[in-house]
Every structure is written in structure tokens, then in C-alpha cells.
């Protein structure tokens, strides 16, 4: 190891060896021989010897530290080898293999995201992913186009900055809390495009948002609503006039002298009935339009379903008498109130009662019942008429759907809107409506509304 040391160290080591040898030789000289010239020279050079010794000591300490570090490093490497069960070359190979697999997985993930983006672009929907801090960390090209943004400019922005609509944060928060959420937003301006936003919580982190442009659909719905409203208002005035003239003509026919022929009376009565059907259709069209476009029903009042059922029976009492049908009530002494709109719930009962009376035979009976079942107030209207075919029961609550007119007494099948209105109103109260019927044995229409204080399903 001497050849690896610095030259000064070798020289100093040689000086130390010489000093020791001279000391031994001095002890062997006789007294009075005089001073040894070599010894005098070494004594004169004593400071150089001390410096050499200090240098050797420092170098020894440094070598010891380096040796200790090397020893520790070797021990760590040995432990890693022991854990992995291989030599250093095997360890290097395994590390390189793992890094290669990570690179491959990252590449596959990037390709998968590209495929998802392309698929979303083809379907015409925007896909956006928000991280846990509500910042955009992925957005496909369609999302940038829908929001009128430069491609790749949304990544890193907050949800407010990207969408310019505070409702998007509420939708994302709801999805994080419950797993999913839906909503509508309108960007840039009051009459700007309208997007349906469907949010789902990611199984890893953040929230996925899917944006669909429904501006054209909402425009068509608005046009349809405006058309129905305008048509209904335009028909109301002439129909009211025809109805009044028909009633006047029927009254004058009763008082005519000599009496008019029975055939003329039947024709006047038929005009009155058909005019009534048209008036009912116009009114129900307006009602359905208001319900569908008027937003959620405000559930502000405590409604007593017993009182509501009694009021509906009283309202249709004269109509039932003309049809030869008896109306009966089956009510418990007391039921819990429901939260809702009494006018709308009363309309549901009137529609159901009107249908039951219309489809009942002469001398038939229609019963209105109110019961409490499992936190809900269930109201049912039962008749013993012709019943509803099984094939029609799945569609009976659709708009404009009607059973065969030949099955209805008098040939009047109604407008096909009454049950659709009832379904919209009941669902607006967080309730449900259904029918039970056997053809030829009557039908029972029922709807259930959560009792006040019960959580909506």
C-alpha cells in the first residue's frame, strides 16, 4: 500500500525510521565520544518530523473513515441482496426490468386516455376530469370546443375558471359525496348553449364529468310548449262560445212549442258532449304544459288527504249521478298530513275519479280509500267497470295514450292526458302511482305520497 500513498508520506515515514535507528545507535556509543553529527542534524530538523507525524495521523483517520463507510455500504448492499436473493448484477437486472414495466404501463395509460378521448369525441360529448382540488387534469377536444376554449388550455384551471358557472362545483361536490350527480349549466351568457352535466366519482381520485349539448333539444321543447300554449289559448275562445251556444240551444229546444223532434234533441246533446271533450282537452294541454315547464312543485303545505278525497267526491257528485254511478268514501278517522300542493293533489284525485266513473256501468260503484302504509299515505280509487287490458297497463300513464274508444260508454275515450298529468304531479311530490286491474273486473288506481316528516325516497 506504500506505493498508493503520497510521496511526502513515504519520506516522512523514512525520516521517522531513521530517527529511531539513530537513537538506538546513540545508546551504544561510549561516553565522551562527542556529539554525533547525524543526531545533531535530526535534532535540528525536529519540526519537520512533528509535521510528518501529524500528517500520517490525519491520513490514518481519513482512511479509517473511508473504510468504515465502505464497510457500511457493503453491508447495506449485502442486506438488499439477501432480501432479493441475488447478486448485484441480478439486482440491477430486476431494477431495470421494473423500470421498463413502469414505462410500459405509463405508455399504455397514455394510449388508453387517448382512446377514451377519441371515443368521446366521436360520440359528441365532452369528457373532463377534476382532481380532488377541483382542478382540471384531463379534458378532451370536444370539451374544449363546447366551452369555446383553445385546445389543451383547460388543464390546470379550476372548475370555475374552466366552466364560468358556479353550479359545476356544486355538481362535482355532490358527486364526491354521493357517487353521482346530474345538472344543467348555461355558459357564457343567459341565452348561451345549455349543457347537461353528468358527474361520477372516480374509483381512484377526483370526479369525471360528461358534458352533452342539449341546446337544440331545449329549443325544440320551448317551441313545442309555446305552440301548445298559443293553440290552447286560440281554441279556448271559440270553444267557450260554441259551448254556450249549445247550452242555449238545448234549453230553447226544451221550451220549444211545438216540441222539436227527438232526433234533433240527440244531435244537440251530442254537440254539447263533443264540445265538452274539446274544452277538457285544451285545459289538460295547458295543465300538462305548465307542469312540465313550471319547474319543481313547491311542497309548502300540510295536506289532509281525507279532506281532499271528500272534496273530490263532492265535486264529481253530479257527474256521477248523470252516469248512474254511486260514489262512496272509505276513510280512517285520522291520517298524517303530507307535504304538497293541495290544488295539484286534488287535480290527481279528480282525474282518477272522472276516469273511474266514465268506465263504470250504470248502477256501478266507485270507492275512494285512504290508508297509511309504511310511512306513506296511500289513496286509491276503485271501480267495478270494464277493467284495463294487461297490454295497456304498462302504457296507461303515457301522454295521449287511450284505450279503445269502443270500450268506453258513449264512445268518448277522453284526451289521454289525465293520467299523464296525475303521474307528473305525484312524482313531483316524491311519490309513486300505479294501477291494478283484471280485464272485465274493474280497476284500482293508487298513489302514495310520503307522510310529513318522512324523508323522500
For residue range 223-280, list pLDDT tens digits in order: 888 888 788 878 888 888 888 888 888 888 888 778 888 888 888 888 887 888 788 7
Q: Is 298 left (phi over 0), alpha (psi -120 to 50) or beta?
A: beta
| Assessment of whether the complete model's pTM goes beyond 0.85 | no
Whether 137 contacts 154, CB under 8 Å? no
Question: Residue 336's pLDDT is what?
Answer: 92
DSSP E strands, 297-374: 301-303, 326-330, 338-340, 365-373
Low-confidence spans in the chain with pLDDT less than 50:
1-35, 37-49, 51, 55, 411, 455-457
Question: Residue 12's pLDDT is what?
Answer: 37
Question: Residue 17's pLDDT is what?
Answer: 38
Question: Residue 409's pLDDT is what?
Answer: 54
Longest distance between any two alpha carbons in the chain, whole Å? 187
How far apart (Å, rounded) are the C-alpha atoms in residues 198 and 386? 45
Query: 323-350: per-residue pLDDT in tens?
Result: 899 999 999 999 999 998 898 899 899 9
Cβ neighbours of 317 (radius 10 Å): 11
Strands in 326-330's sheet, in edge-to-edge order, are 326-330, 365-373, 376-383, 443-450, 432-437
DSSP state string for 421-432: HHHHHHHHTT-E
How far apart (Å, rounded) are the C-alpha atoms in residues 360 and 366? 8
How far apart (Å, rounded) are the C-alpha atoms in residues 419 and 403? 12
Question: Residue 191's pLDDT is what?
Answer: 72
DSSP reduced 3-state for 191: coil
How far apart (Å, rounded) are the C-alpha atoms in residues 356 and 309? 14
Question: Residue 413's pLDDT is what?
Answer: 54
Question: Residue 378's pLDDT is what?
Answer: 95
How far apart (Å, rounded) are the C-alpha atoms in residues 229 and 116? 44
Question: Residue 11's pLDDT is what?
Answer: 35
Question: Residue 195's pLDDT is what?
Answer: 86
Task: Name the residue among 229, 449, 453 with its Cα closest to residue 342.
Answer: 449
- C-alpha cell at position 214: 342539449
Q: Taking the mean position of all CA atoms in its chain, how far away is CA 260?
A: 68
Q: What Å distances lie between residue 29 and 32, 33, 41, 43, 112, CA to CA? A: 9, 7, 17, 17, 95
DSSP state of 204: S
Amino acid at each position: 500500500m506504500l506505493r498508493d500513498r503520497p510521496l511526502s508520506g513515504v519520506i516522512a515515514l523514512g525520516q521517522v525510521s531513521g530517527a529511531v535507528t539513530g537513537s538506538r545507535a546513540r545508546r551504544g556509543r561510549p561516553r565522551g565520544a562527542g556529539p554525533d553529527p547525524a543526531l545533531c542534524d535530526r535534532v535540528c530538523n525536529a519540526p519537520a518530523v512533528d509535521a510528518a507525524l501529524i500528517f500520517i495521523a490525519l491520513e490514518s483517520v481519513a482512511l479509517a473513515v473511508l473504510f468504515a463507510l465502505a464497510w457500511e455500504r457493503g453491508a447495506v448492499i449485502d442486506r438488499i441482496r439477501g432480501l432479493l436473493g441475488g447478486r448485484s448484477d441480478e439486482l440491477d437486472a430486476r431494477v431495470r426490468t421494473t423500470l421498463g414495466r413502469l414505462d410500459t404501463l405509463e405508455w399504455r395509460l397514455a394510449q388508453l386516455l387517448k382512446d377514451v378521448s377519441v371515443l368521446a369525441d366521436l360520440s359528441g360529448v365532452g369528457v373532463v376530469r377534476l382532481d380532488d382540488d377541483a382542478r382540471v387534469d384531463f379534458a378532451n377536444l370536444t370539451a374544449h370546443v363546447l366551452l369555446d376554449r383553445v385546445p389543451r388550455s383547460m388543464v390546470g384551471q379550476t372548475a370555475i375558471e374552466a366552466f364560468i358557472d358556479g353550479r359545476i362545483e356544486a355538481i362535482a361536490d355532490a358527486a364526491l359525496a354521493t357517487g353521482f350527480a346530474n345538472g344543467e349549466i348555461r355558459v357564457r351568457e343567459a341565452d348561451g348553449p345549455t349543457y347537461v352535466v353528468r358527474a361520477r366519482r372516480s374509483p381512484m381520485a377526483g370526479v369525471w364529468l360528461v358534458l352533452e349539448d342539449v341546446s337544440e333539444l331545449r329549443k325544440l321543447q320551448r317551441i313545442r310548449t309555446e305552440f301548445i300554449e298559443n293553440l290552447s289559448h286560440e281554441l279556448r275562445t271559440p270553444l267557450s262560445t260554441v259551448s254556450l251556444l249549445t247550452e242555449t240551444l238545448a234549453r230553447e229546444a226544451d221550451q220549444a212549442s211545438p216540441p222539436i223532434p227527438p232526433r234533433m234533441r240527440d244531435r244537440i246533446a251530442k254537440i254539447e258532449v263533443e264540445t265538452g271533450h274539446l274544452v277538457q282537452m285544451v285545459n289538460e294541454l295547458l295543465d300538462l304544459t305548465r307542469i312540465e315547464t313550471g319547474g319543481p312543485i313547491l311542497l309548502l303545505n300540510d295536506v289532509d288527504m281525507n279532506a281532499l278525497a271528500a272534496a273530490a267526491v263532492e265535486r264529481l257528485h253530479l257527474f256521477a249521478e248523470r252516469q248512474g254511478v254511486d260514489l262512496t268514501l272509505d276513510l280512517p278517522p285520522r291520517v298524517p298530513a303530507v307535504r304538497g300542493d293541495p290544488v295539484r293533489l286534488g287535480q290527481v284525485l279528480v282525474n282518477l275519479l272522472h276516469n273511474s266513473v266514465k268506465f263504470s256501468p250504470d248502477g256501478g260503484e266507485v270507492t275512494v280509500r285512504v290508508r297509511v302504509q309504511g310511512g306513506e299515505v296511500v289513496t286509491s280509487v276503485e271501480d267495478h267497470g270494464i277493467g284495463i287490458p294487461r297490454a295497456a297497463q304498462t302504457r296507461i300513464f303515457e301522454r295521449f295514450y287511450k284505450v279503445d274508444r269502443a270500450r268506453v260508454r258513449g264512445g268518448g275515450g277522453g284526451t289521454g292526458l289525465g293520467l299523464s298529468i296525475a303521474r307528473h304531479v305525484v312524482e313531483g311530490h316524491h311519490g309513486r302511482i300505479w294501477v291494478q286491474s283484471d280485464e272485465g273486473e274493474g280497476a284500482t288506481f293508487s298513489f302514495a305520497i310520503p307522510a310529513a316528516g318522512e324523508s323522500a325516497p
